[in-house]
Protein backbone atom coordinates (compact mmCIF):
# COMPACT_ATOMS: atom_id res chain seq x y z
CA UNK A 1 0.00 0.00 0.00
CA UNK A 2 1.49 3.28 -1.13
CA UNK A 3 -0.75 6.25 -1.90
CA UNK A 4 1.86 8.66 -3.20
CA UNK A 5 3.31 9.68 -6.52
CA UNK A 6 6.68 8.44 -7.76
CA UNK A 7 9.70 10.62 -8.41
CA UNK A 8 9.02 10.34 -12.16
CA UNK A 9 5.41 11.44 -11.70
CA UNK A 10 6.51 14.44 -9.64
CA UNK A 11 9.01 15.40 -12.34
CA UNK A 12 6.29 15.10 -14.95
CA UNK A 13 4.10 17.41 -12.90
CA UNK A 14 6.91 19.97 -12.65
CA UNK A 15 7.43 19.75 -16.39
CA UNK A 16 3.77 20.42 -17.18
CA UNK A 17 3.57 23.29 -14.68
CA UNK A 18 6.69 24.87 -16.24
CA UNK A 19 5.21 24.44 -19.71
CA UNK A 20 1.99 26.15 -18.67
CA UNK A 21 3.87 29.02 -17.08
CA UNK A 22 6.31 29.58 -19.92
CA UNK A 23 4.51 28.51 -23.09
CA UNK A 24 0.85 28.81 -22.20
CA UNK A 25 0.31 31.49 -19.55
CA UNK A 26 -3.18 32.87 -18.99
CA UNK A 27 -2.70 35.61 -21.59
CA UNK A 28 -2.04 32.89 -24.18
CA UNK A 29 -4.97 30.80 -22.90
CA UNK A 30 -7.24 33.78 -23.48
CA UNK A 31 -5.84 34.30 -27.01
CA UNK A 32 -6.24 30.65 -27.96
CA UNK A 33 -9.78 30.52 -26.59
CA UNK A 34 -10.74 33.53 -28.67
CA UNK A 35 -9.15 32.24 -31.87
CA UNK A 36 -10.84 30.30 -34.65
CA UNK A 37 -11.25 26.63 -33.63
CA UNK A 38 -9.71 27.63 -30.29
CA UNK A 39 -6.68 25.51 -31.00
CA UNK A 40 -2.92 26.10 -31.08
CA UNK A 41 -1.17 23.60 -33.31
CA UNK A 42 2.33 24.65 -32.22
CA UNK A 43 1.63 24.12 -28.54
CA UNK A 44 0.00 20.81 -29.38
CA UNK A 45 3.16 19.69 -31.15
CA UNK A 46 5.26 20.72 -28.19
CA UNK A 47 3.02 18.64 -25.91
CA UNK A 48 3.45 15.72 -28.31
CA UNK A 49 7.24 16.11 -28.35
CA UNK A 50 7.24 16.01 -24.55
CA UNK A 51 5.50 12.65 -24.76
CA UNK A 52 2.24 13.70 -23.11
CA UNK A 53 -0.03 12.71 -25.98
CA UNK A 54 1.17 9.13 -26.07
CA UNK A 55 1.35 8.52 -22.32
CA UNK A 56 -1.26 5.76 -22.32
CA UNK A 57 -0.55 4.49 -25.84
CA UNK A 58 1.28 1.15 -25.79
CA UNK A 59 4.98 1.33 -26.61
CA UNK A 60 4.48 -0.92 -29.62
CA UNK A 61 2.40 1.87 -31.15
CA UNK A 62 4.80 4.67 -30.43
CA UNK A 63 3.55 5.67 -26.99
CA UNK A 64 5.00 5.43 -23.50
CA UNK A 65 2.78 2.58 -22.29
CA UNK A 66 1.96 4.27 -19.01
CA UNK A 67 -1.28 4.30 -17.00
CA UNK A 68 -4.13 6.65 -16.20
CA UNK A 69 -2.50 7.48 -12.89
CA UNK A 70 0.34 9.01 -14.95
CA UNK A 71 -2.04 10.70 -17.35
CA UNK A 72 -3.94 12.52 -14.61
CA UNK A 73 -0.68 14.09 -13.46
CA UNK A 74 -0.63 15.90 -16.82
CA UNK A 75 -4.35 16.69 -16.81
CA UNK A 76 -4.24 18.10 -13.29
CA UNK A 77 -1.15 20.24 -13.82
CA UNK A 78 -2.35 21.54 -17.21
CA UNK A 79 -5.71 22.47 -15.71
CA UNK A 80 -4.02 24.61 -13.06
CA UNK A 81 -3.45 27.03 -15.91
CA UNK A 82 -6.77 26.19 -17.61
CA UNK A 83 -4.99 24.65 -20.59
CA UNK A 84 -7.24 24.80 -23.65
CA UNK A 85 -5.35 21.94 -25.34
CA UNK A 86 -7.54 18.89 -26.08
CA UNK A 87 -5.32 16.52 -24.08
CA UNK A 88 -8.22 14.94 -22.16
CA UNK A 89 -10.31 14.36 -25.31
CA UNK A 90 -7.30 12.86 -27.07
CA UNK A 91 -6.60 10.58 -24.10
CA UNK A 92 -10.21 9.41 -23.98
CA UNK A 93 -10.10 8.61 -27.69
CA UNK A 94 -6.89 6.71 -27.00
CA UNK A 95 -8.57 4.63 -24.30
CA UNK A 96 -11.48 3.97 -26.66
CA UNK A 97 -9.17 2.66 -29.35
CA UNK A 98 -7.07 0.62 -26.94
CA UNK A 99 -10.26 -0.93 -25.53
CA UNK A 100 -12.35 -1.43 -28.68
CA UNK A 101 -10.17 -1.43 -31.80
CA UNK A 102 -8.65 -4.35 -33.71
CA UNK A 103 -4.89 -4.67 -34.06
CA UNK A 104 -5.14 -3.36 -37.60
CA UNK A 105 -7.08 -0.29 -36.46
CA UNK A 106 -4.67 0.35 -33.58
CA UNK A 107 -1.70 0.18 -35.95
CA UNK A 108 -3.46 2.61 -38.27
CA UNK A 109 -4.42 5.23 -35.67
CA UNK A 110 -2.33 5.10 -32.51
CA UNK A 111 1.12 6.05 -33.89
CA UNK A 112 -0.27 9.25 -35.41
CA UNK A 113 -1.99 10.02 -32.11
CA UNK A 114 1.22 9.51 -30.15
CA UNK A 115 3.22 11.76 -32.46
CA UNK A 116 0.60 14.49 -32.33
CA UNK A 117 0.01 14.29 -36.09
CA UNK A 118 -3.66 13.49 -35.53
CA UNK A 119 -5.91 15.12 -32.92
CA UNK A 120 -8.73 12.77 -32.00
CA UNK A 121 -11.77 13.27 -29.81
CA UNK A 122 -14.57 11.10 -28.49
CA UNK A 123 -18.31 11.78 -28.58
CA UNK A 124 -20.54 9.37 -26.69
CA UNK A 125 -24.07 10.57 -25.95
CA UNK A 126 -26.60 12.45 -28.05
CA UNK A 127 -28.60 13.91 -25.20
CA UNK A 128 -26.94 16.45 -22.96
CA UNK A 129 -26.76 15.22 -19.37
CA UNK A 130 -28.13 11.71 -19.99
CA UNK A 131 -25.76 8.81 -19.46
CA UNK A 132 -27.31 5.63 -20.82
CA UNK A 133 -26.97 3.51 -23.97
CA UNK A 134 -30.48 4.74 -24.83
CA UNK A 135 -29.07 8.26 -25.04
CA UNK A 136 -27.19 7.19 -28.16
CA UNK A 137 -29.60 7.69 -31.04
CA UNK A 138 -27.21 8.26 -33.96
CA UNK A 139 -27.14 5.26 -36.26
CA UNK A 140 -24.83 3.40 -38.59
CA UNK A 141 -26.37 1.20 -41.28
CA UNK A 142 -24.67 -0.99 -43.85
CA UNK A 143 -25.50 -0.30 -47.47
CA UNK A 144 -23.54 -1.41 -50.51
CA UNK A 145 -20.29 -2.19 -48.76
CA UNK A 146 -20.28 1.20 -47.03
CA UNK A 147 -21.57 2.23 -43.63
CA UNK A 148 -23.80 5.25 -43.70
CA UNK A 149 -24.24 7.42 -40.62
CA UNK A 150 -27.20 9.40 -39.44
CA UNK A 151 -27.90 11.61 -36.44
CA UNK A 152 -26.51 14.57 -34.59
CA UNK A 153 -24.24 14.78 -31.56
CA UNK A 154 -24.39 17.95 -29.51
CA UNK A 155 -21.56 19.35 -27.40
CA UNK A 156 -18.71 17.14 -28.54
CA UNK A 157 -15.54 18.33 -26.80
CA UNK A 158 -12.81 19.74 -29.03
CA UNK A 159 -14.59 18.65 -32.22
CA UNK A 160 -13.34 21.67 -34.17
CA UNK A 161 -9.72 21.01 -33.25
CA UNK A 162 -9.96 17.30 -34.01
CA UNK A 163 -8.72 15.68 -37.20
CA UNK A 164 -10.71 12.56 -36.41
CA UNK A 165 -13.73 11.88 -34.22
CA UNK A 166 -14.85 8.66 -32.60
CA UNK A 167 -18.63 8.85 -32.32
CA UNK A 168 -20.91 6.39 -30.60
CA UNK A 169 -23.71 5.05 -32.79
CA UNK A 170 -26.32 2.30 -32.85
CA UNK A 171 -24.65 0.06 -35.44
CA UNK A 172 -25.84 -2.93 -37.44
CA UNK A 173 -24.63 -5.27 -34.65
CA UNK A 174 -25.27 -3.14 -31.61
CA UNK A 175 -23.38 -0.19 -30.21
CA UNK A 176 -20.33 0.93 -32.14
CA UNK A 177 -17.85 3.76 -32.45
CA UNK A 178 -17.67 5.34 -35.89
CA UNK A 179 -14.29 6.82 -36.78
CA UNK A 180 -14.77 9.80 -39.05
CA UNK A 181 -12.53 12.52 -40.39
CA UNK A 182 -13.66 16.00 -39.44
CA UNK A 183 -14.25 16.83 -43.10
CA UNK A 184 -16.66 13.93 -43.47
CA UNK A 185 -19.17 15.46 -41.04
CA UNK A 186 -20.69 18.88 -40.35
CA UNK A 187 -19.06 20.40 -37.29
CA UNK A 188 -20.52 23.63 -35.91
CA UNK A 189 -19.17 25.48 -32.89
CA UNK A 190 -21.48 25.57 -29.88
CA UNK A 191 -20.10 28.36 -27.72
CA UNK A 192 -20.73 28.11 -23.98
CA UNK A 193 -19.73 30.34 -21.09
CA UNK A 194 -16.41 28.45 -20.83
CA UNK A 195 -14.41 29.32 -23.91
CA UNK A 196 -11.39 27.35 -22.66
CA UNK A 197 -13.36 24.16 -23.28
CA UNK A 198 -14.58 24.52 -26.87
CA UNK A 199 -17.44 22.26 -27.87
CA UNK A 200 -19.26 21.71 -31.15
CA UNK A 201 -22.21 19.85 -32.56
CA UNK A 202 -21.46 17.12 -35.04
CA UNK A 203 -23.98 16.26 -37.74
CA UNK A 204 -23.27 12.79 -39.07
CA UNK A 205 -26.06 12.63 -41.59
CA UNK A 206 -24.91 11.88 -45.10
CA UNK A 207 -21.50 10.60 -44.02
CA UNK A 208 -20.42 7.21 -45.31
CA UNK A 209 -17.44 5.31 -43.87
CA UNK A 210 -15.72 2.01 -44.56
CA UNK A 211 -16.64 -0.97 -42.44
CA UNK A 212 -13.02 -0.96 -41.27
CA UNK A 213 -13.70 2.36 -39.55
CA UNK A 214 -16.39 0.97 -37.29
CA UNK A 215 -15.40 -0.31 -33.84
CA UNK A 216 -17.73 -2.55 -31.87
CA UNK A 217 -18.60 -1.04 -28.49
CA UNK A 218 -20.09 -3.17 -25.72
CA UNK A 219 -22.28 -1.53 -23.04
CA UNK A 220 -19.52 -2.36 -20.55
CA UNK A 221 -16.96 -0.56 -22.71
CA UNK A 222 -19.31 2.41 -23.04
CA UNK A 223 -19.61 2.55 -19.25
CA UNK A 224 -15.83 2.20 -18.90
CA UNK A 225 -15.16 5.09 -21.30
CA UNK A 226 -17.75 7.24 -19.56
CA UNK A 227 -16.01 6.53 -16.27
CA UNK A 228 -12.64 7.40 -17.81
CA UNK A 229 -14.24 10.69 -18.86
CA UNK A 230 -15.27 11.23 -15.26
CA UNK A 231 -11.72 10.61 -14.06
CA UNK A 232 -10.24 12.99 -16.65
CA UNK A 233 -12.73 15.73 -15.80
CA UNK A 234 -12.19 15.31 -12.07
CA UNK A 235 -8.41 15.46 -12.46
CA UNK A 236 -8.82 18.78 -14.25
CA UNK A 237 -11.13 19.94 -11.46
CA UNK A 238 -8.38 19.14 -8.95
CA UNK A 239 -5.87 21.27 -10.81
CA UNK A 240 -8.23 24.15 -11.53
CA UNK A 241 -9.64 24.06 -7.98
CA UNK A 242 -6.14 24.20 -6.47
CA UNK A 243 -5.22 27.13 -8.69
CA UNK A 244 -8.25 29.23 -7.84
CA UNK A 245 -7.87 28.44 -4.13
CA UNK A 246 -4.24 29.52 -4.27
CA UNK A 247 -5.14 32.71 -6.14
CA UNK A 248 -7.88 33.52 -3.62
CA UNK A 249 -5.75 32.66 -0.60
CA UNK A 250 -2.96 34.93 -1.83
CA UNK A 251 -5.43 37.76 -2.37
CA UNK A 252 -6.85 37.32 1.15
CA UNK A 253 -3.37 37.81 2.62
CA UNK A 254 -2.76 40.99 0.66
CA UNK A 255 -6.11 42.76 0.56
CA UNK A 256 -6.46 45.12 3.53
CA UNK A 257 -9.88 46.16 4.79
CA UNK A 258 -10.71 47.78 8.12
CA UNK A 259 -6.97 47.88 8.73
CA UNK A 260 -6.35 44.14 8.46
CA UNK A 261 -5.77 41.55 5.73
CA UNK A 262 -9.20 40.07 4.96
CA UNK A 263 -7.73 36.58 5.55
CA UNK A 264 -7.58 37.46 9.22
CA UNK A 265 -11.40 37.51 9.44
CA UNK A 266 -12.90 34.13 10.13
CA UNK A 267 -15.68 34.74 7.64
CA UNK A 268 -12.99 34.67 4.97
CA UNK A 269 -10.41 32.29 6.43
CA UNK A 270 -12.95 29.64 7.35
CA UNK A 271 -14.38 29.66 3.85
CA UNK A 272 -10.84 29.20 2.53
CA UNK A 273 -10.38 26.31 4.95
CA UNK A 274 -13.61 24.69 3.73
CA UNK A 275 -12.43 25.06 0.15
CA UNK A 276 -9.22 23.28 1.13
CA UNK A 277 -11.12 20.47 2.89
CA UNK A 278 -13.25 19.83 -0.19
CA UNK A 279 -10.35 20.07 -2.58
CA UNK A 280 -8.22 17.65 -0.55
CA UNK A 281 -11.11 15.23 -0.39
CA UNK A 282 -11.99 15.07 -4.05
CA UNK A 283 -8.29 15.03 -4.83
CA UNK A 284 -7.84 11.82 -2.80
CA UNK A 285 -10.95 10.27 -4.36
CA UNK A 286 -9.73 11.26 -7.83
CA UNK A 287 -6.31 9.66 -7.38
CA UNK A 288 -7.91 6.45 -6.20
CA UNK A 289 -10.29 6.41 -9.18
CA UNK A 290 -7.42 7.05 -11.61
CA UNK A 291 -5.51 4.15 -10.10
CA UNK A 292 -8.58 1.93 -10.40
CA UNK A 293 -8.86 2.52 -14.19
CA UNK A 294 -5.91 0.23 -14.84
CA UNK A 295 -5.37 -1.64 -11.61
CA UNK A 296 -8.81 -2.36 -10.16
CA UNK A 297 -11.46 -1.99 -12.89
CA UNK A 298 -14.09 -3.69 -10.74
CA UNK A 299 -13.89 -0.80 -8.30
CA UNK A 300 -13.90 1.88 -10.99
CA UNK A 301 -17.60 2.72 -11.22
CA UNK A 302 -18.01 3.45 -7.54
CA UNK A 303 -14.63 5.17 -7.29
CA UNK A 304 -15.50 7.51 -10.17
CA UNK A 305 -18.90 8.31 -8.74
CA UNK A 306 -17.35 9.19 -5.39
CA UNK A 307 -14.75 11.43 -7.03
CA UNK A 308 -16.92 13.14 -9.63
CA UNK A 309 -19.96 13.23 -7.34
CA UNK A 310 -17.91 15.08 -4.74
CA UNK A 311 -16.05 17.32 -7.18
CA UNK A 312 -19.10 18.42 -9.19
CA UNK A 313 -20.70 20.37 -6.37
CA UNK A 314 -17.53 21.18 -4.43
CA UNK A 315 -15.66 22.71 -7.37
CA UNK A 316 -18.79 24.66 -8.35
CA UNK A 317 -18.78 26.22 -4.86
CA UNK A 318 -15.01 26.78 -4.99
CA UNK A 319 -15.52 28.62 -8.28
CA UNK A 320 -18.23 30.81 -6.77
CA UNK A 321 -16.26 31.55 -3.60
CA UNK A 322 -13.07 32.11 -5.58
CA UNK A 323 -14.79 34.97 -7.34
CA UNK A 324 -16.88 36.04 -4.36
CA UNK A 325 -14.04 36.35 -1.84
CA UNK A 326 -12.25 38.67 -4.24
CA UNK A 327 -15.13 41.11 -4.20
CA UNK A 328 -15.71 43.29 -7.24
CA UNK A 329 -12.27 42.69 -8.76
CA UNK A 330 -13.11 39.00 -9.07
CA UNK A 331 -16.16 39.93 -11.11
CA UNK A 332 -14.13 41.71 -13.79
CA UNK A 333 -13.35 40.13 -17.14
CA UNK A 334 -9.66 41.00 -16.85
CA UNK A 335 -9.18 39.11 -13.60
CA UNK A 336 -8.56 35.37 -14.02
CA UNK A 337 -10.71 34.08 -11.11
CA UNK A 338 -13.81 34.32 -13.30
CA UNK A 339 -12.28 31.90 -15.83
CA UNK A 340 -12.12 29.25 -13.11
CA UNK A 341 -15.73 29.86 -12.15
CA UNK A 342 -16.67 29.28 -15.78
CA UNK A 343 -14.58 26.10 -15.87
CA UNK A 344 -16.45 24.84 -12.79
CA UNK A 345 -19.75 25.33 -14.60
CA UNK A 346 -18.42 23.39 -17.58
CA UNK A 347 -17.12 20.54 -15.44
CA UNK A 348 -20.20 20.12 -13.28
CA UNK A 349 -22.42 18.04 -15.62
CA UNK A 350 -19.57 16.56 -17.68
CA UNK A 351 -19.69 12.74 -17.53
CA UNK A 352 -22.38 12.89 -14.90
CA UNK A 353 -23.50 15.53 -12.40
CA UNK A 354 -23.68 14.89 -8.68
CA UNK A 355 -27.27 13.59 -8.85
CA UNK A 356 -26.24 10.93 -11.34
CA UNK A 357 -23.17 9.88 -9.38
CA UNK A 358 -24.78 9.98 -5.95
CA UNK A 359 -27.59 7.78 -7.13
CA UNK A 360 -25.07 5.33 -8.56
CA UNK A 361 -23.17 5.30 -5.26
CA UNK A 362 -26.44 4.40 -3.53
CA UNK A 363 -27.12 1.59 -6.01
CA UNK A 364 -23.59 0.22 -5.87
CA UNK A 365 -23.68 0.53 -2.10
CA UNK A 366 -26.67 -1.82 -1.87
CA UNK A 367 -29.63 0.58 -1.80
Partner 1 sequence: MDFDYTPREQSFREEVRDFITENLPPKEKRDKNFLATWLEKVRAKGWVGFAWPKEFGGSDGGLMEQAILKEEMSLAKAPPLGTSMMGLAWVGPGIMEYGTEEQKQKFIPDILDSKVTWCTGYSEPNHGSDLAAIQCKAELQGDHYVGNGQEIWTTGAPWSQWIILLTRTDFNVTSKHDGITCFLVPMDAPGVEVRPIQNMAGDKHFAEIFFTDVQVPVENRLGAEGEGWKVTVSALANERSSIGEVTQLQAKLDDLKELVKNSKRQGKPATEDPKVRRTVAKFEMKISAMKYNGLRYLTKQIKGEPLTSETSVNKLHRASLEIEMDDFAIELSGQAGLQLKGGEEAVDNGTWSKGALNWPNVVIGGGTPNIQRNIIAERILGQPKD
Residues forming contacts to partner 1 in the complex (CB under 8 A) are: 1-6, 9, 69, 245, 249, 252-253, 260-261, 263-264, 266, 268-270, 272-274, 276-277, 280-282, 284-285, 287-288, 291, 295-296, 305-306, 309-310, 355, 357-359, 361-362, 365-367
Contacts of 229 (CB under 8 A, 6+ apart): 92, 122, 124, 350, 351
Q: Residue 143: name the closest of 187, 204, 206 by CA.
A: 206
User: To the nearest whole angstrom, how small is the minimum distance from the Cβ of residue 273 to partner 1?
Assistant: 4
- If the CB atoms of residues 153 and 357 are measured against partner 1, the closer one turns out to be 357
- If the CB atoms of residues 157 and 248 are measured against partner 1, the closer one turns out to be 248
Quote the CA–CA distance of 166 and 158 in Å, as a whole number.
Answer: 12
Q: What is the dihedral of CA 203, 205, 207, 209, to 10 degrees?
A: 100
- If the CB atoms of residues 145 and 366 are measured against partner 1, the closer one turns out to be 366
The Cα angle at residue 164 between residues 43 and 22, in degrees rounded to 5 = 10
User: To the nearest whole angstrom, how small is the minimum distance from the Cβ of residue 367 to partner 1?
Assistant: 5
The angle that helices 300-324 and 354-364 make with each other, rounded to 10 degrees, is 150
- If the CB atoms of residues 62 and 261 are measured against partner 1, the closer one turns out to be 261
User: To the nearest whole angstrom, how small is the minimum distance from the Cβ of residue 348 to partner 1?
Assistant: 16
User: To the nearest whole angstrom, how small is the minimum distance from the Cβ of residue 314 to partner 1?
Assistant: 10
- If the CB atoms of residues 117 and 256 are measured against partner 1, the closer one turns out to be 256
User: To the nearest whole angstrom, how small is the minimum distance from the Cβ of residue 357 to partner 1?
Assistant: 8
DSSP H/E element including 245: helix 219-254
Residue 216, strand partner residues: 176
Q: Residue 319: name the closest of 129, 156, 79 by CA.
A: 79
Say if residue 277 is exposed, middle or buried (CB neighbours under 10 Å; 0-12, 13-18, 19+): exposed
- If the CB atoms of residues 237 and 306 are measured against partner 1, the closer one turns out to be 306
User: To the nearest whole angstrom, how small is the minimum distance from the Cβ of residue 332 to partner 1?
Assistant: 24
- The DSSP 8-state label assigned to residue 350 in this structure reads T
Amino acid sequence: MNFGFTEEQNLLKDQVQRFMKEACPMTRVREISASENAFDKDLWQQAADLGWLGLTIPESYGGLGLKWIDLIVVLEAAAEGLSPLPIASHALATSAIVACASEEQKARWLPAMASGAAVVTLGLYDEANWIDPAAITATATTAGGKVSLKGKKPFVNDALAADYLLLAVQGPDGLALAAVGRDQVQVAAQPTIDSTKPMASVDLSGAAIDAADLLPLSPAQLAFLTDCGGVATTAEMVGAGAAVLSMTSTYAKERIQFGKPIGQYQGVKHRLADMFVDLESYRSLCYFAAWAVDDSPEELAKAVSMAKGYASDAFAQIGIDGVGLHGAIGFTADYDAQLYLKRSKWARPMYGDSDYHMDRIATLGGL
